[in-house]
Structure 1
Protein backbone atom coordinates (compact mmCIF):
# COMPACT_ATOMS: atom_id res chain seq x y z
CA UNK A 1 0.00 0.00 0.00
CA UNK A 2 1.25 3.45 -0.88
CA UNK A 3 2.15 5.42 2.24
CA UNK A 4 0.50 8.85 2.53
CA UNK A 5 2.86 11.75 2.09
CA UNK A 6 2.71 15.15 3.70
CA UNK A 7 1.51 17.81 1.26
CA UNK A 8 2.38 21.45 1.82
CA UNK A 9 1.05 24.23 -0.39
CA UNK A 10 2.49 27.72 -0.08
CA UNK A 11 -0.25 30.31 -0.67
CA UNK A 12 0.51 32.66 -3.52
CA UNK A 13 -0.30 36.37 -3.73
CA UNK A 14 -3.95 37.41 -3.82
CA UNK A 15 -5.08 37.50 -7.49
CA UNK A 16 -6.18 40.87 -8.85
CA UNK A 17 -9.71 41.44 -10.24
CA UNK A 18 -8.44 41.82 -13.82
CA UNK A 19 -6.54 38.54 -13.52
CA UNK A 20 -9.62 36.75 -12.17
CA UNK A 21 -11.74 38.07 -15.01
CA UNK A 22 -9.16 37.02 -17.62
CA UNK A 23 -9.14 33.52 -16.15
CA UNK A 24 -12.94 33.40 -16.11
CA UNK A 25 -13.20 34.54 -19.73
CA UNK A 26 -10.63 31.99 -20.85
CA UNK A 27 -12.53 29.17 -19.13
CA UNK A 28 -15.88 30.39 -20.45
CA UNK A 29 -14.49 30.37 -23.99
CA UNK A 30 -13.96 26.61 -23.63
CA UNK A 31 -17.57 26.05 -22.53
CA UNK A 32 -16.96 25.96 -18.77
CA UNK A 33 -19.58 27.92 -16.73
CA UNK A 34 -17.71 30.14 -14.25
CA UNK A 35 -18.53 32.32 -11.25
CA UNK A 36 -16.59 34.39 -8.68
CA UNK A 37 -15.92 33.19 -5.13
CA UNK A 38 -15.45 35.30 -2.04
CA UNK A 39 -12.73 34.72 0.53
CA UNK A 40 -13.26 31.41 2.25
CA UNK A 41 -14.21 29.69 -1.01
CA UNK A 42 -17.87 30.68 -0.71
CA UNK A 43 -20.13 32.10 -3.45
CA UNK A 44 -21.72 35.52 -3.34
CA UNK A 45 -25.08 35.76 -1.59
CA UNK A 46 -28.26 36.26 -3.55
CA UNK A 47 -29.23 39.80 -4.49
CA UNK A 48 -31.98 41.62 -2.58
CA UNK A 49 -34.61 40.57 -5.09
CA UNK A 50 -33.61 36.92 -4.73
CA UNK A 51 -32.87 36.83 -0.99
CA UNK A 52 -34.40 33.73 0.62
CA UNK A 53 -35.42 32.67 -2.92
CA UNK A 54 -38.02 35.44 -3.02
CA UNK A 55 -37.70 35.39 -6.81
CA UNK A 56 -39.43 32.01 -6.75
CA UNK A 57 -36.56 30.21 -8.46
CA UNK A 58 -34.14 27.54 -7.43
CA UNK A 59 -35.75 26.68 -4.07
CA UNK A 60 -33.14 24.75 -2.12
CA UNK A 61 -30.99 24.95 -5.25
CA UNK A 62 -32.85 22.03 -6.85
CA UNK A 63 -34.58 23.71 -9.79
CA UNK A 64 -33.36 26.16 -12.43
CA UNK A 65 -36.04 28.70 -11.53
CA UNK A 66 -37.26 31.78 -13.43
CA UNK A 67 -34.70 34.21 -12.02
CA UNK A 68 -33.48 36.70 -14.61
CA UNK A 69 -31.57 39.06 -12.32
CA UNK A 70 -28.23 40.41 -13.61
CA UNK A 71 -26.34 39.71 -10.38
CA UNK A 72 -24.19 36.80 -9.23
CA UNK A 73 -26.99 34.78 -7.62
CA UNK A 74 -27.77 31.23 -6.60
CA UNK A 75 -24.23 29.91 -6.12
CA UNK A 76 -23.40 27.20 -8.72
CA UNK A 77 -26.42 28.21 -10.80
CA UNK A 78 -24.84 31.63 -11.39
CA UNK A 79 -22.16 30.00 -13.52
CA UNK A 80 -22.14 31.36 -17.07
CA UNK A 81 -20.14 31.15 -20.27
CA UNK A 82 -21.45 34.47 -21.60
CA UNK A 83 -18.54 36.97 -21.79
CA UNK A 84 -20.98 39.89 -21.80
CA UNK A 85 -22.39 38.76 -18.46
CA UNK A 86 -18.94 38.11 -16.99
CA UNK A 87 -17.84 41.65 -17.84
CA UNK A 88 -21.17 43.35 -16.98
CA UNK A 89 -21.26 46.07 -14.30
CA UNK A 90 -22.84 43.80 -11.68
CA UNK A 91 -20.28 41.05 -12.27
CA UNK A 92 -17.41 43.56 -12.48
CA UNK A 93 -18.33 44.72 -8.99
CA UNK A 94 -18.26 41.11 -7.83
CA UNK A 95 -14.83 40.51 -9.37
CA UNK A 96 -13.55 43.51 -7.42
CA UNK A 97 -14.46 41.69 -4.19
CA UNK A 98 -13.69 38.15 -5.37
CA UNK A 99 -10.87 35.96 -4.13
CA UNK A 100 -11.02 33.15 -6.70
CA UNK A 101 -12.71 31.77 -9.79
CA UNK A 102 -15.03 28.78 -9.49
CA UNK A 103 -16.84 26.71 -12.09
CA UNK A 104 -19.86 24.40 -12.35
CA UNK A 105 -18.38 20.99 -13.29
CA UNK A 106 -21.74 19.47 -14.22
CA UNK A 107 -22.45 22.36 -16.58
CA UNK A 108 -19.20 21.57 -18.38
CA UNK A 109 -19.86 17.82 -18.51
CA UNK A 110 -17.26 17.12 -15.82
CA UNK A 111 -16.97 15.52 -12.38
CA UNK A 112 -14.41 16.56 -9.78
CA UNK A 113 -13.25 14.10 -7.14
CA UNK A 114 -12.06 16.43 -4.37
CA UNK A 115 -9.34 14.74 -2.32
CA UNK A 116 -8.77 16.69 0.88
CA UNK A 117 -5.58 15.13 2.20
CA UNK A 118 -2.68 12.79 1.52
CA UNK A 119 -4.54 9.73 2.76
CA UNK A 120 -7.38 10.38 0.31
CA UNK A 121 -4.88 10.83 -2.53
CA UNK A 122 -3.21 7.54 -1.65
CA UNK A 123 -6.62 5.83 -1.72
CA UNK A 124 -7.45 7.35 -5.13
CA UNK A 125 -4.13 6.26 -6.64
CA UNK A 126 -4.85 2.67 -5.64
CA UNK A 127 -8.58 2.68 -6.48
CA UNK A 128 -9.40 5.06 -9.33
CA UNK A 129 -8.14 5.28 -12.92
CA UNK A 130 -5.62 8.02 -13.58
CA UNK A 131 -6.98 11.25 -15.00
CA UNK A 132 -6.19 14.97 -14.98
CA UNK A 133 -5.12 16.14 -11.52
CA UNK A 134 -4.95 19.65 -10.06
CA UNK A 135 -3.13 20.43 -6.78
CA UNK A 136 -5.27 22.09 -4.10
CA UNK A 137 -4.38 23.70 -0.79
CA UNK A 138 -4.31 20.36 1.05
CA UNK A 139 -4.83 17.71 -1.59
CA UNK A 140 -5.85 17.29 -5.23
CA UNK A 141 -8.78 17.53 -7.63
CA UNK A 142 -9.14 14.54 -9.96
CA UNK A 143 -11.23 15.60 -12.98
CA UNK A 144 -13.17 13.14 -15.15
CA UNK A 145 -15.33 13.52 -18.26
CA UNK A 146 -18.99 12.88 -17.46
CA UNK A 147 -21.57 14.11 -14.97
CA UNK A 148 -23.24 12.60 -11.93
CA UNK A 149 -24.99 13.59 -8.71
CA UNK A 150 -22.78 15.56 -6.32
CA UNK A 151 -22.26 14.35 -2.77
CA UNK A 152 -19.96 15.36 0.07
CA UNK A 153 -18.08 13.02 2.40
CA UNK A 154 -18.53 9.91 0.27
CA UNK A 155 -15.57 8.54 2.23
CA UNK A 156 -13.01 10.17 4.55
CA UNK A 157 -11.51 13.20 2.83
CA UNK A 158 -13.40 12.69 -0.45
CA UNK A 159 -16.17 14.85 -1.96
CA UNK A 160 -17.86 14.56 -5.37
CA UNK A 161 -18.56 17.81 -7.24
CA UNK A 162 -20.48 17.61 -10.49
CA UNK A 163 -24.17 18.47 -11.07
CA UNK A 164 -25.50 21.35 -8.95
CA UNK A 165 -22.14 22.07 -7.30
CA UNK A 166 -19.15 24.33 -7.81
CA UNK A 167 -15.41 23.72 -7.63
CA UNK A 168 -12.60 26.22 -7.30
CA UNK A 169 -10.46 26.67 -10.40
CA UNK A 170 -6.83 26.11 -9.45
CA UNK A 171 -5.16 25.80 -12.85
CA UNK A 172 -5.20 23.46 -15.84
CA UNK A 173 -3.63 20.54 -13.99
CA UNK A 174 -1.62 17.70 -15.48
CA UNK A 175 -2.43 14.41 -17.14
CA UNK A 176 -5.04 13.29 -19.65
CA UNK A 177 -8.68 13.54 -18.64
CA UNK A 178 -10.46 10.16 -18.77
CA UNK A 179 -14.08 9.04 -18.73
CA UNK A 180 -15.95 9.01 -15.43
CA UNK A 181 -15.56 5.47 -14.04
CA UNK A 182 -18.23 3.40 -12.33
CA UNK A 183 -16.04 3.37 -9.22
CA UNK A 184 -16.68 7.10 -8.80
CA UNK A 185 -20.40 6.85 -9.56
CA UNK A 186 -20.72 4.16 -6.93
CA UNK A 187 -19.33 6.51 -4.28
CA UNK A 188 -22.41 8.74 -4.51
CA UNK A 189 -24.93 5.91 -4.13
CA UNK A 190 -26.53 6.18 -0.71
CA UNK A 191 -26.85 3.05 1.34
CA UNK A 192 -30.50 1.91 1.61
CA UNK A 193 -32.17 2.21 5.00
CA UNK A 194 -32.15 -1.14 6.83
CA UNK A 195 -35.76 -0.47 7.85
CA UNK A 196 -36.93 -0.51 4.25
CA UNK A 197 -36.69 -3.16 1.54
CA UNK A 198 -33.88 -2.71 -0.94
CA UNK A 199 -35.31 -1.36 -4.22
CA UNK A 200 -34.85 -3.37 -7.37
CA UNK A 201 -32.03 -2.15 -9.58
CA UNK A 202 -33.15 -0.33 -12.71
CA UNK A 203 -30.86 -0.08 -15.70
CA UNK A 204 -30.96 3.47 -17.04
CA UNK A 205 -29.12 4.68 -20.15
CA UNK A 206 -26.65 7.52 -19.61
CA UNK A 207 -28.47 9.63 -22.18
CA UNK A 208 -31.16 8.74 -24.67
CA UNK A 209 -32.39 5.22 -25.16
CA UNK A 210 -33.87 3.43 -28.13
CA UNK A 211 -36.64 1.02 -28.96
CA UNK A 212 -40.35 0.85 -28.12
CA UNK A 213 -41.49 1.73 -24.62
CA UNK A 214 -42.44 -1.57 -22.92
CA UNK A 215 -45.41 -0.13 -21.01
CA UNK A 216 -46.73 2.54 -23.35
CA UNK A 217 -47.59 2.55 -27.03
CA UNK A 218 -45.52 4.58 -29.52
CA UNK A 219 -48.59 6.77 -30.07
CA UNK A 220 -48.70 7.58 -26.34
CA UNK A 221 -45.04 8.65 -26.40
CA UNK A 222 -45.52 10.74 -29.56
CA UNK A 223 -48.53 12.48 -28.01
CA UNK A 224 -46.58 13.08 -24.79
CA UNK A 225 -43.68 14.73 -26.62
CA UNK A 226 -46.09 16.90 -28.60
CA UNK A 227 -47.85 17.97 -25.41
CA UNK A 228 -44.48 18.77 -23.82
CA UNK A 229 -43.54 20.94 -26.80
CA UNK A 230 -46.87 22.74 -26.56
CA UNK A 231 -46.49 23.31 -22.80
CA UNK A 232 -43.10 24.95 -23.34
CA UNK A 233 -44.34 26.99 -26.33
CA UNK A 234 -47.28 28.37 -24.34
CA UNK A 235 -45.16 29.54 -21.40
CA UNK A 236 -45.62 33.29 -20.91
CA UNK A 237 -43.46 33.59 -17.80
CA UNK A 238 -41.14 31.46 -15.63
CA UNK A 239 -39.77 29.82 -18.77
CA UNK A 240 -36.83 28.23 -16.91
CA UNK A 241 -39.18 26.59 -14.41
CA UNK A 242 -41.59 25.46 -17.14
CA UNK A 243 -38.80 23.85 -19.14
CA UNK A 244 -37.44 22.07 -16.07
CA UNK A 245 -40.88 20.79 -14.97
CA UNK A 246 -41.65 19.63 -18.51
CA UNK A 247 -38.36 17.75 -18.77
CA UNK A 248 -39.03 16.25 -15.36
CA UNK A 249 -42.49 15.07 -16.42
CA UNK A 250 -41.20 13.46 -19.62
CA UNK A 251 -38.34 11.71 -17.82
CA UNK A 252 -40.60 10.50 -15.01
CA UNK A 253 -42.74 8.75 -17.63
CA UNK A 254 -40.11 7.47 -20.02
CA UNK A 255 -36.68 8.01 -18.46
CA UNK A 256 -36.25 4.45 -17.24
CA UNK A 257 -37.64 2.41 -20.11
CA UNK A 258 -35.24 3.44 -22.85
CA UNK A 259 -37.87 4.66 -25.31
CA UNK A 260 -36.58 8.24 -25.53
CA UNK A 261 -34.36 8.79 -28.53
CA UNK A 262 -32.03 11.61 -29.51
CA UNK A 263 -34.80 12.84 -31.82
CA UNK A 264 -37.27 13.16 -28.93
CA UNK A 265 -34.76 15.02 -26.78
CA UNK A 266 -33.78 17.31 -29.67
CA UNK A 267 -37.46 18.23 -30.13
CA UNK A 268 -37.73 19.24 -26.46
CA UNK A 269 -34.49 21.25 -26.60
CA UNK A 270 -35.63 22.96 -29.80
CA UNK A 271 -38.92 23.98 -28.18
CA UNK A 272 -37.06 25.40 -25.18
CA UNK A 273 -34.55 27.28 -27.33
CA UNK A 274 -37.42 28.79 -29.32
CA UNK A 275 -38.53 30.40 -26.04
CA UNK A 276 -35.09 31.94 -25.56
CA UNK A 277 -33.39 29.22 -23.53
CA UNK A 278 -29.72 28.61 -24.31
CA UNK A 279 -28.32 25.17 -25.03
CA UNK A 280 -26.56 25.29 -21.65
CA UNK A 281 -29.84 26.06 -19.86
CA UNK A 282 -31.47 23.13 -21.65
CA UNK A 283 -28.61 20.80 -20.77
CA UNK A 284 -28.62 21.93 -17.13
CA UNK A 285 -32.39 21.49 -16.85
CA UNK A 286 -32.20 18.01 -18.38
CA UNK A 287 -29.30 17.03 -16.10
CA UNK A 288 -31.06 18.41 -13.02
CA UNK A 289 -34.28 16.55 -13.88
CA UNK A 290 -32.36 13.29 -14.30
CA UNK A 291 -30.56 13.89 -11.01
CA UNK A 292 -33.83 14.60 -9.19
CA UNK A 293 -35.26 11.31 -10.46
CA UNK A 294 -32.07 9.41 -9.70
CA UNK A 295 -31.40 8.55 -13.34
Structure 2
Protein backbone atom coordinates (compact mmCIF):
# COMPACT_ATOMS: atom_id res chain seq x y z
CA UNK A 1 0.00 0.00 0.00
CA UNK A 2 2.86 2.38 0.70
CA UNK A 3 3.88 2.21 -2.96
CA UNK A 4 0.44 3.05 -4.41
CA UNK A 5 0.91 6.81 -4.52
CA UNK A 6 4.40 6.80 -6.15
CA UNK A 7 3.23 4.26 -8.73
CA UNK A 8 0.15 6.33 -9.52
CA UNK A 9 2.24 9.47 -9.83
CA UNK A 10 4.72 7.70 -12.10
CA UNK A 11 1.92 6.46 -14.36
CA UNK A 12 0.42 9.94 -14.55
CA UNK A 13 3.79 11.47 -15.40
CA UNK A 14 4.36 8.82 -18.06
CA UNK A 15 0.98 9.46 -19.70
CA UNK A 16 1.53 13.20 -19.75
CA UNK A 17 5.07 12.89 -21.12
CA UNK A 18 3.80 10.62 -23.91
CA UNK A 19 0.92 12.98 -24.65
CA UNK A 20 3.27 15.96 -24.93
CA UNK A 21 5.56 14.05 -27.27
CA UNK A 22 2.68 13.00 -29.51
CA UNK A 23 1.24 16.52 -29.47
CA UNK A 24 4.58 17.88 -30.63
CA UNK A 25 4.28 15.55 -33.64
CA UNK A 26 0.85 16.95 -34.51
CA UNK A 27 -1.40 14.30 -32.94
CA UNK A 28 -4.31 15.78 -30.94
CA UNK A 29 -4.30 13.76 -27.72
CA UNK A 30 -6.58 13.16 -24.74
CA UNK A 31 -6.58 10.99 -21.62
CA UNK A 32 -8.60 7.76 -21.69
CA UNK A 33 -9.74 5.59 -18.82
CA UNK A 34 -8.29 2.13 -18.23
CA UNK A 35 -11.25 0.70 -20.15
CA UNK A 36 -10.22 2.80 -23.19
CA UNK A 37 -13.26 5.07 -22.85
CA UNK A 38 -13.04 8.85 -22.50
CA UNK A 39 -13.24 10.51 -19.12
CA UNK A 40 -16.77 11.61 -18.28
CA UNK A 41 -17.93 15.18 -18.69
CA UNK A 42 -17.79 17.44 -15.67
CA UNK A 43 -21.03 18.37 -13.88
CA UNK A 44 -21.40 21.54 -15.90
CA UNK A 45 -21.09 19.71 -19.21
CA UNK A 46 -22.94 16.50 -18.28
CA UNK A 47 -25.43 15.55 -20.96
CA UNK A 48 -24.09 18.41 -23.12
CA UNK A 49 -25.99 20.83 -20.88
CA UNK A 50 -23.24 23.32 -21.70
CA UNK A 51 -24.24 23.33 -25.35
CA UNK A 52 -21.41 21.15 -26.55
CA UNK A 53 -18.49 22.40 -28.56
CA UNK A 54 -18.49 24.10 -31.94
CA UNK A 55 -16.41 21.38 -33.60
CA UNK A 56 -18.96 18.79 -32.44
CA UNK A 57 -21.61 20.58 -34.55
CA UNK A 58 -23.72 21.07 -31.43
CA UNK A 59 -25.20 24.56 -31.08
CA UNK A 60 -23.62 26.79 -28.49
CA UNK A 61 -20.01 27.29 -27.42
CA UNK A 62 -18.37 25.47 -24.53
CA UNK A 63 -15.31 27.00 -22.92
CA UNK A 64 -14.86 24.32 -20.26
CA UNK A 65 -11.11 24.01 -19.53
CA UNK A 66 -11.45 20.32 -18.59
CA UNK A 67 -11.04 17.37 -21.00
CA UNK A 68 -14.78 17.04 -21.62
CA UNK A 69 -16.68 15.83 -24.71
CA UNK A 70 -14.50 12.81 -25.56
CA UNK A 71 -12.70 13.18 -28.92
CA UNK A 72 -13.50 16.90 -29.09
CA UNK A 73 -11.21 17.46 -26.10
CA UNK A 74 -8.15 16.21 -28.01
CA UNK A 75 -5.53 18.93 -28.38
CA UNK A 76 -1.93 19.56 -29.38
CA UNK A 77 -1.60 22.58 -27.08
CA UNK A 78 0.98 21.83 -24.36
CA UNK A 79 -0.41 24.65 -22.21
CA UNK A 80 -3.78 22.87 -22.10
CA UNK A 81 -2.27 19.42 -21.55
CA UNK A 82 -0.24 20.63 -18.58
CA UNK A 83 -2.91 22.91 -17.13
CA UNK A 84 -4.24 22.40 -13.57
CA UNK A 85 -7.68 21.62 -15.02
CA UNK A 86 -6.22 18.53 -16.73
CA UNK A 87 -4.20 17.34 -13.72
CA UNK A 88 -6.99 15.14 -12.38
CA UNK A 89 -7.55 13.70 -15.85
CA UNK A 90 -3.96 12.52 -16.13
CA UNK A 91 -4.14 11.16 -12.58
CA UNK A 92 -7.19 9.07 -13.48
CA UNK A 93 -6.09 8.15 -17.01
CA UNK A 94 -5.37 4.56 -17.93
CA UNK A 95 -3.99 5.22 -21.42
CA UNK A 96 -3.38 8.03 -23.90
CA UNK A 97 -5.78 8.43 -26.79
CA UNK A 98 -5.74 10.58 -29.92
CA UNK A 99 -8.14 11.97 -32.53
CA UNK A 100 -7.21 10.30 -35.86
CA UNK A 101 -9.17 12.77 -37.97
CA UNK A 102 -7.42 15.67 -36.29
CA UNK A 103 -4.10 14.09 -37.17
CA UNK A 104 -5.15 13.59 -40.80
CA UNK A 105 -5.32 9.80 -40.64
CA UNK A 106 -7.86 6.97 -40.58
CA UNK A 107 -7.55 3.91 -38.37
CA UNK A 108 -8.98 0.65 -39.70
CA UNK A 109 -9.62 -1.15 -36.42
CA UNK A 110 -9.45 -4.91 -36.95
CA UNK A 111 -10.93 -6.53 -33.88
CA UNK A 112 -10.05 -10.20 -34.36
CA UNK A 113 -8.00 -12.68 -36.38
CA UNK A 114 -10.66 -13.07 -39.07
CA UNK A 115 -10.75 -9.30 -39.64
CA UNK A 116 -6.95 -9.19 -39.85
CA UNK A 117 -6.97 -12.02 -42.40
CA UNK A 118 -9.53 -10.10 -44.47
CA UNK A 119 -7.39 -6.97 -44.41
CA UNK A 120 -4.27 -8.81 -45.49
CA UNK A 121 -6.01 -10.14 -48.58
CA UNK A 122 -8.04 -7.01 -49.40
CA UNK A 123 -6.30 -3.81 -48.29
CA UNK A 124 -3.02 -2.31 -49.53
CA UNK A 125 -0.13 -2.49 -47.03
CA UNK A 126 0.30 0.46 -44.69
CA UNK A 127 1.46 1.18 -41.15
CA UNK A 128 0.15 -1.45 -38.74
CA UNK A 129 -0.04 -1.50 -34.95
CA UNK A 130 -0.76 -4.60 -32.90
CA UNK A 131 -3.75 -4.43 -30.52
CA UNK A 132 -4.95 -6.78 -27.79
CA UNK A 133 -7.07 -8.87 -30.16
CA UNK A 134 -6.14 -7.70 -33.64
CA UNK A 135 -4.46 -4.79 -35.42
CA UNK A 136 -4.83 -1.12 -36.34
CA UNK A 137 -4.11 -0.35 -40.00
CA UNK A 138 -3.42 3.37 -40.34
CA UNK A 139 -3.81 5.29 -43.59
CA UNK A 140 -3.15 8.91 -44.54
CA UNK A 141 -6.44 10.70 -45.19
CA UNK A 142 -9.71 11.18 -43.35
CA UNK A 143 -13.33 10.12 -43.64
CA UNK A 144 -16.39 9.80 -41.42
CA UNK A 145 -16.01 7.31 -38.59
CA UNK A 146 -18.15 4.21 -38.94
CA UNK A 147 -18.38 1.12 -36.75
CA UNK A 148 -19.32 -2.31 -37.98
CA UNK A 149 -18.55 -1.79 -41.68
CA UNK A 150 -18.03 -5.56 -41.78
CA UNK A 151 -17.57 -8.21 -39.05
CA UNK A 152 -14.86 -7.08 -36.66
CA UNK A 153 -13.97 -3.92 -38.61
CA UNK A 154 -14.46 -0.31 -37.46
CA UNK A 155 -13.27 2.90 -39.12
CA UNK A 156 -11.98 5.63 -36.80
CA UNK A 157 -11.20 9.05 -38.22
CA UNK A 158 -13.32 12.20 -37.82
CA UNK A 159 -15.34 12.60 -34.62
CA UNK A 160 -13.73 9.54 -33.00
CA UNK A 161 -10.77 8.62 -30.85
CA UNK A 162 -8.30 5.74 -30.83
CA UNK A 163 -5.91 4.40 -28.22
CA UNK A 164 -2.23 5.13 -28.81
CA UNK A 165 -0.48 1.75 -28.94
CA UNK A 166 2.84 2.79 -30.41
CA UNK A 167 4.17 4.00 -33.76
CA UNK A 168 3.68 0.64 -35.44
CA UNK A 169 5.57 -0.78 -38.40
CA UNK A 170 5.52 -0.02 -42.11
CA UNK A 171 5.18 3.08 -44.23
CA UNK A 172 2.02 5.19 -44.04
CA UNK A 173 0.12 5.00 -47.33
CA UNK A 174 -2.84 6.87 -48.81
CA UNK A 175 -6.36 5.92 -47.78
CA UNK A 176 -7.55 3.44 -50.45
CA UNK A 177 -10.87 3.63 -52.26
CA UNK A 178 -11.90 0.26 -50.85
CA UNK A 179 -11.92 1.74 -47.36
CA UNK A 180 -13.73 4.90 -48.49
CA UNK A 181 -16.34 2.68 -50.12
CA UNK A 182 -16.86 0.82 -46.84
CA UNK A 183 -17.53 4.11 -45.07
CA UNK A 184 -20.08 5.17 -47.67
CA UNK A 185 -21.94 1.87 -47.78
CA UNK A 186 -21.88 1.08 -44.07
CA UNK A 187 -25.37 1.19 -42.52
CA UNK A 188 -24.27 2.04 -38.97
CA UNK A 189 -22.16 5.06 -38.05
CA UNK A 190 -20.59 6.02 -34.75
CA UNK A 191 -23.44 8.37 -33.87
CA UNK A 192 -26.31 6.90 -35.83
CA UNK A 193 -29.27 5.11 -34.29
CA UNK A 194 -28.84 1.37 -33.73
CA UNK A 195 -30.75 -1.26 -35.58
CA UNK A 196 -34.42 -1.50 -34.71
CA UNK A 197 -35.26 -3.68 -31.73
CA UNK A 198 -38.77 -5.09 -31.49
CA UNK A 199 -40.41 -5.44 -28.09
CA UNK A 200 -43.77 -7.11 -27.50
CA UNK A 201 -46.91 -4.99 -27.14
CA UNK A 202 -48.84 -5.13 -23.86
CA UNK A 203 -51.06 -8.15 -23.44
CA UNK A 204 -54.81 -7.62 -23.72
CA UNK A 205 -54.53 -4.59 -25.98
CA UNK A 206 -55.05 -2.12 -23.14
CA UNK A 207 -53.55 1.36 -23.21
CA UNK A 208 -49.98 1.38 -21.94
CA UNK A 209 -49.51 3.54 -18.86
CA UNK A 210 -45.96 4.27 -20.02
CA UNK A 211 -47.22 6.11 -23.04
CA UNK A 212 -47.38 9.18 -20.84
CA UNK A 213 -44.75 11.39 -22.51
CA UNK A 214 -43.51 12.74 -19.17
CA UNK A 215 -43.16 9.32 -17.53
CA UNK A 216 -41.34 7.76 -20.46
CA UNK A 217 -39.15 10.79 -21.19
CA UNK A 218 -38.03 10.97 -17.58
CA UNK A 219 -37.07 7.29 -17.62
CA UNK A 220 -35.05 7.54 -20.83
CA UNK A 221 -33.35 10.76 -19.74
CA UNK A 222 -32.34 9.20 -16.41
CA UNK A 223 -30.97 6.16 -18.21
CA UNK A 224 -28.94 8.35 -20.57
CA UNK A 225 -27.55 10.32 -17.64
CA UNK A 226 -26.62 7.16 -15.74
CA UNK A 227 -24.54 5.98 -18.70
CA UNK A 228 -23.02 9.43 -19.29
CA UNK A 229 -22.01 9.84 -15.64
CA UNK A 230 -20.31 6.43 -15.37
CA UNK A 231 -16.60 6.74 -14.69
CA UNK A 232 -15.70 3.05 -14.68
CA UNK A 233 -17.25 -0.33 -15.41
CA UNK A 234 -18.91 1.02 -18.56
CA UNK A 235 -19.84 -2.44 -19.91
CA UNK A 236 -21.60 -3.30 -16.66
CA UNK A 237 -23.28 0.09 -16.38
CA UNK A 238 -24.62 -0.11 -19.94
CA UNK A 239 -25.96 -3.62 -19.43
CA UNK A 240 -27.63 -2.80 -16.11
CA UNK A 241 -29.13 0.37 -17.53
CA UNK A 242 -30.53 -1.50 -20.54
CA UNK A 243 -31.87 -4.13 -18.15
CA UNK A 244 -33.61 -1.50 -16.03
CA UNK A 245 -35.18 0.21 -19.06
CA UNK A 246 -36.42 -3.08 -20.50
CA UNK A 247 -37.74 -4.17 -17.11
CA UNK A 248 -39.81 -0.99 -16.83
CA UNK A 249 -40.83 -0.42 -20.45
CA UNK A 250 -39.90 -3.46 -22.52
CA UNK A 251 -43.13 -5.42 -22.27
CA UNK A 252 -45.63 -2.67 -22.88
CA UNK A 253 -44.72 -1.56 -26.38
CA UNK A 254 -43.95 2.06 -25.56
CA UNK A 255 -40.26 1.97 -26.49
CA UNK A 256 -39.52 3.22 -29.98
CA UNK A 257 -36.43 2.98 -32.17
CA UNK A 258 -35.74 6.60 -31.24
CA UNK A 259 -35.67 5.80 -27.52
CA UNK A 260 -33.36 2.86 -28.04
CA UNK A 261 -31.19 4.95 -30.34
CA UNK A 262 -30.71 7.54 -27.59
CA UNK A 263 -29.50 4.86 -25.19
CA UNK A 264 -27.15 3.37 -27.78
CA UNK A 265 -25.77 6.83 -28.61
CA UNK A 266 -25.07 7.55 -24.94
CA UNK A 267 -23.27 4.22 -24.63
CA UNK A 268 -21.23 4.79 -27.80
CA UNK A 269 -20.17 8.21 -26.51
CA UNK A 270 -18.59 6.38 -23.57
CA UNK A 271 -16.63 4.10 -25.89
CA UNK A 272 -19.02 1.20 -26.47
CA UNK A 273 -19.26 -0.11 -30.04
CA UNK A 274 -22.63 -0.64 -31.74
CA UNK A 275 -21.97 -4.37 -31.60
CA UNK A 276 -21.38 -4.28 -27.84
CA UNK A 277 -24.53 -2.20 -27.41
CA UNK A 278 -26.56 -4.71 -29.40
CA UNK A 279 -25.09 -7.60 -27.39
CA UNK A 280 -25.91 -5.86 -24.09
CA UNK A 281 -29.47 -5.17 -25.25
CA UNK A 282 -29.96 -8.78 -26.39
CA UNK A 283 -28.50 -10.14 -23.14
CA UNK A 284 -30.85 -7.94 -21.13
CA UNK A 285 -33.82 -9.18 -23.14
CA UNK A 286 -32.74 -12.78 -22.56
CA UNK A 287 -32.32 -12.19 -18.82
CA UNK A 288 -35.90 -10.90 -18.69
CA UNK A 289 -37.26 -13.77 -20.76
CA UNK A 290 -38.19 -11.60 -23.74
**TM above 0.5, one fold?**
yes
Q: Which residue of 2 aligns with 1:242?
A: none
Q: CA deviation at 1:57?
A: 2.0
Given the superposition, is the C-alpha separation of residues 178 and 64 from structure 1 closer, same or farther in structure 2, using an over 3 Å criterion?
farther
Q: CA deviation at 1:62?
A: 4.1
Q: TM-score, normalised by structure 2?
A: 0.59
Q: Find 2:185's aligned residue among 190, 211, 215.
A: 190
Given the superposition, is the C-alpha separation of residues 159 and 24 from structure 1 closer, same or farther in structure 2, using an over 3 Å criterion?
same
1:132 aligns with 2:142: no
| Deviation by residue 1:206-246 (Cα, 9 ceiling, x = unmatched) | xxxxxxxxxxxxxxxxxxxxxxxxxxxxxxxxxxxxxxxxx
Q: CA deviation at 1:66?
A: 1.2
| Deviation by residue 1:236-294 (Cα, 9 ceiling, x = unmatched) | xxxxxxxxxxxxxxxxxxxxxxxxxxxxxxxxxxxxxxxxxxxxxxxxxxxxxxxxxxx
Q: CA deviation at 1:47?
A: 1.2
Matches within 5 A, 1:32-111: 32-58=27-53, 61-63=56-58, 65-111=60-106
Q: Which residue of 2 aligns with 1:161?
A: 156
Given the superposition, is the C-alpha separation of residues 64 and 154 from structure 1 closer, same or farther in structure 2, using an over 3 Å criterion?
farther
SS of residue paired to 1:111? strand
Aligned partners of 1:29, 1:191: CA distance in 2, in Å?
34
SS of residue paired to 1:16? helix
Q: Which residue of 1 aligns with 2:221?
A: none
Aligned partners of 1:116, 1:167: CA distance in 2, in Å?
13
Q: CA deviation at 1:191?
A: 6.1
| Deviation by residue 1:109-144 (Cα, 9 ceiling, x = unmatched) | 010000001110110011001000000010000000
Aligned partners of 2:47, 2:12: CA distance in 1, in Å?
28
Q: Which residue of 2 aligns with 1:285?
A: none
SS of residue paired to 1:80? coil
SS of residue paired to 2:66? coil
Moved over 6 A (4+): none
Given the superposition, is the C-alpha separation of residues 97 and 191 from structure 1 closer, same or farther in structure 2, using an over 3 Å criterion?
closer
Aligned partners of 1:150, 1:186: CA distance in 2, in Å?
12
Q: CA deviation at 1:54?
A: 1.2
Given the superposition, is the C-alpha separation of residues 164 and 64 from structure 1 closer, same or farther in structure 2, using an over 3 Å criterion?
farther
For these two proteins, the number of residue pairs brought into alignment is: 180
Q: Mind listing any 5+ residue stretches in structure 1 that lack a counterpart?
A: 1-12, 193-295
Relative to its length, the structure with more helix (as a share) is: 2
Aligned partners of 1:78, 1:60: CA distance in 2, in Å?
10
Kindly indicate whether the alpha-carbon contact (under 8 Å) linking 1:64 and 1:77 is maintained by their aligned counterparts in 2: no
SS of residue paired to 1:154? strand
Moved more, 160-169 or 53-62: 53-62
